Amino acid sequence: MADLSFISSVVAILLVRAGQRAGWGDGADLIALVRDRFRYDADAQSALASVASDIAGADVLTTLAAAVLRHAEIDRRFSADIRHAVVAAYADPMIAPGLPDPTPDV
């Protein structure tokens, strides 16, 4: 099973793509899930709001992944939900090729 840090990074990538309207059909559901979880965290909300920008770059990904990780570490349900979203993304042949290789380094 992939570690939570990796899962959070993939979620950030998926959120940026969904925010830029690029691809994944389940992206809107993921944005809604994360938006709901971030509702009392102004910094996390700000990071999420920035994903709609056409210039969302590495700094946005890093900030967003850290916020997702922070919330996933304290909320088991949220952690399970994002894991399921990542599994669904890797199962989608249109999305999976653009995601990082989940195979652990050996």
- How much is the pTM? 0.86
Domain-located, residue 106: no
**In a domain? residue 101:** no
The per-residue pLDDT for range 55-67, each reduced to its tens digit, is 566 788 898 999 9
What is the rounded average pLDDT of the residues 20-39? Answer: 80
Give the model confidence (pLDDT) of 33-56 as tens digits: 999 999 999 988 888 887 766 556
Q: How many CB atoms lie within 10 A of CB 4?
A: 15
pLDDT in tens, 78-93: 999 999 999 999 998 8
User: What's the domain range around 50?
Assistant: 4-96
Residues 6+ apart with CB under 8 A from 29: 85
Domain count, the chain: 1
Q: Residue-wise over 49-72: b if at least 16 C-beta within 10 A, else e? A: ebbeeeebeeebbebbbbbbbebb
Please, what sign has the CA dihedral across residues 19, 23, 29, 30? negative
51 is a domain residue: yes
Q: How many CA atoms are closer than 13 Å to the CA of 105, on its beta-carbon side?
A: 2
Task: Give the mean pLDDT of the chain.
Answer: 85
